Structure 1
Amino acid sequence: MNSRLCNCRFPSSIEVAHYRGRIPDLVSCRCGEDAAGSVNPWEWCVEDNTNVIVIDERDIIFHPRRSNGTAIARGSRPLKAGMVHCWETLVMTPLVGTDVMVGIGTDKVNLGEFISKFTSALGGNSDSWGYSYSGKIQHGGKMSTYGRKFGQGCLIGVYLDRARGHLEFYLNRRSLGVAYTNVPTNADVNIYPMVSSTAFRTGIRLVNSMSLDDTLLLRSFQVAAKQPEVRAELRKVPGLMGILRSTWLATMFQDSTYAYA
């Protein structure tokens, strides 16, 4: 059974199907968006010739009229090598159909390749990595058991360490473990955030995103985030909490108590 991040009201599948206005207007939830230091260094984008995705600021609506296949959206900027990138997406609508996936992909991914085919798009080849709403992950065409299923009301976190080549997913700010350690670290490979869906009127919102340099300070904070006694001492250091708030997303992903948020 899917567990939600919060108890906010979300629209039913019938409401979504029959509503003629903006799908995001049916969602009042803003949980997770008010943390200090949250930034959005990139936006969603699609190919110019697509008519199966609507971008509404931070929201994506897949297949607004009907679904005949699989649509893919990606971030507007590549995730630079040598940095740590993390972001969260909120599932606004009920999820049904062949697959809905969150993940990453290189610039070799053809966003319109599966426009007339229902498939698990992300991870279908060696150029992308995906986490499915079925709870499985996929890369190189190989689907593997990974974690819990996700659905409406869930917050999906992605933690990409391009300094080490690690990719990890989070469900409602709880780690599901490192999914892959084979993400390219070299700067000549452009990698983007991606989301794919086969379902009619799937709504996905970018809640938070952050990109940080791979520094000793960041790594130290991440280690400290796992140790409650160290966190208590850090709070006593004048001015340090301000620095922690500027890296809250990367450190929060290492800490199930969210002490810095």
Structure 2
Amino acid sequence: MVEMPFVKVDERGGARQGARCPRDRPSPERGQDTCSRVMGIWTVLHALCSAFVKILFTMARRPRSSRAWHFVLSAAHRDTDARAVALAGTANWGYDSDGQHSDSDSDPESSALPPPIPSAVPVTGESFCDCDSQSEASLCGSLHVVHRGKDKDCRCGEEDEYFDWVWDDLNKSSATLLSCDNRKVNFHMEYSCGTAAIRGTKELGEGQHFWEIKMTSPVYGTDMMVGIGTSDVDLDKYHHTFCSLLGRDEDSWGLSYTGLLHHKGDKTSFSSRFGQGSIIGVHLDTWHGTLTFFKNRKCIGVAATKLQNKKFYPMVCSTAAKSSMKVIRSCASITSLQYLCCYRLRQLRPDSGDTLEGLPLPPGLKQVLHHKLGWVLSMSCGRHKPPAPSPKATATPGSPEPRHCQRKRYRRT
């Protein structure tokens, strides 16, 4: 029997529904469809929210993983007023962040407090010559001759056509770029994130070795160095650390642009600062085992001794962005009587422009000596001070000169 719907009136006069018709009751299929729709809408919303969160997370993390953004932040958090005055007119320069955002391989020295402001101010007033020779286009390739004819007042002496060695393209840091027939090295093309270094193509064995490095860019930053090192020096070890690479161990010696000499991690005040246009000369004498530095063709002093029976490479390093150095001379000679005579002549005539001028030598011999040992004849030899007398052998003022007294002996007769 089919149940019919009815309406029942309660005591308060309200109507309420009684039994329902089977067709008015909700079916299980309708409930499942509604639940499926709700679940589908919720899944779509969850997917959209997840995608939106991922996009926001990626955008938020992108500046943290960018070294360029680190570079901008480090520059913005410094003394902007002082830097703006110091670097006026040099907006195209980049500079290192002094190790504030180094990677995990940073040492305590470079990851500590940032260095003082003068480290970002280029050194000026130390140029050897006033020529406009910093432009790469005027010195490289076939334009070199044009530059020499144009700048007649240039005293840099970049007319050498033969070089005993150039920079090695296979042994360098990743943040370096070579030009000018591999004689010029450019460091950190855009921005700096560490220390870059390079070495020469030739291992300096027995004999006399002399080379000159010209600073062809502004000199600033944590450090820019010239020196030597053995084959054990890892040139790419500190590519994410701002430091003085040469001289951190016993395998290298480095002269910093600040005038400090580095070796075995120790720093010694060695010379005055050098900057853009300065010419740093290095003389490695494996016969006597000495390493001598020159600044603007003048001897600074002997940096190391007892270097016999060791083999080194010429090396340079830099932490400054858009910095560069150039080899303008690299010579070598065996330690012969001819070399020793030329070296002695230069010591006797240190102020002479042409050491051989006025000497009764055949013109052909002069030409040969200038061609083979011209770097020796033009080198400024340091004048060594005589050793100070021992305090024991020095008589005090007013005291009588020491006399050798002999005790008389008497014979009894």
For normalisation by structure 1, the TM-score amounts to 0.84
Q: Secondary structure at the match of 2:277?
A: coil
Q: Which has the higher helix share?
A: 2
SS in 1 for 2:347: coil
Output the CA distance in 2 between the equivalents of 1:211 and 1:238.
23
1:1-261 residue pairs with structure 2 within 5 A?
2-9=125-132, 24-25=136-137, 31-34=156-159, 39-47=162-170, 50-56=173-179, 57=181, 58-81=183-206, 83-183=207-307, 185-186=308-309, 189-228=310-349, 231-232=356-357, 234-245=359-370, 246-254=372-380
Gaps of 5+ in 1: 12-22, 257-261
Task: Please report how far the alpha carbon of residue 235 of structure 1 lies from its aligned counterpart in structure 2 after TM superposition.
Answer: 5.0
The structure-2 alpha-carbon separation of the partners of 1:167 and 1:255, relative to structure 1 and needing over 3 Å to count, comes to closer
Letter in 2 for 1:106: T
Using the TM superposition, give the Cα deviation of residue 255 of structure 1 relative to its aligned residue in structure 2, in angstroms. 5.2
More strand by share: 1
Question: Residue 234 of structure 1: CA displacement?
Answer: 3.1
How far residue 47 of structure 1 moved from its aligned partner, in angstroms, is 4.6
Q: Distance in 2 between matches of 1:87 and 1:141?
A: 25
8 A Cα contact 1:91 1:205, kept in partner: yes
CA distance in 2, matches of 1:158, 1:48: 20
Q: Percent identity?
A: 33
Q: Is 1:10–1:93's contact at 8 Å kept on the other side of the alignment?
A: no
CA RMSD, 1 decimal? 2.3
Structure 1 residues 200, 235: CA separation in 2 closer, same or farther (over 3 Å shift)? Answer: farther
For the residue of structure 2 that corresponds to 1:225, the secondary structure is: helix
Contact 1:46/1:72, CA 8 A, preserved across alignment: no
Rounded to whole Å, the distance in 1 between the matches of 2:246 and 2:360 is 41
**Residue 356 of structure 2 contacts residue 366 of structure 2 at CA under 8 Å; is this kept in 1?**
no
Q: 1:49 to 1:91 in 2, by over 3 A?
A: closer
Larger radius of gyration: 2
Q: Distance in 1 between matches of 2:167 and 2:178?
A: 7
CA distance in 2, matches of 1:26, 1:70: 28
Q: Displacement of 1:231 after TM fit?
A: 4.3
- For residues 4-26 of structure 1, the C-alpha deviation after alignment (integer angstroms, 9 at most, x for no partner) is 11111366xxxxxxxxxxx7237
Partners of 1:48 and 1:176 in 2: CA distance: 29
Q: Which has the higher contact order (CA 8 A, sep 6+)?
A: 1
In structure 1, C-alpha distance between the alignment counterparts of 2:189 and 2:360, rounded to whole Å: 47
CA contact (8 A) 1:47 1:111 kept: no
Evaluate the alpha carbon distance shift between residue 48 and residue 108 of structure 1 in structure 2; reply closer, same or farther with a 3 A threshold: closer
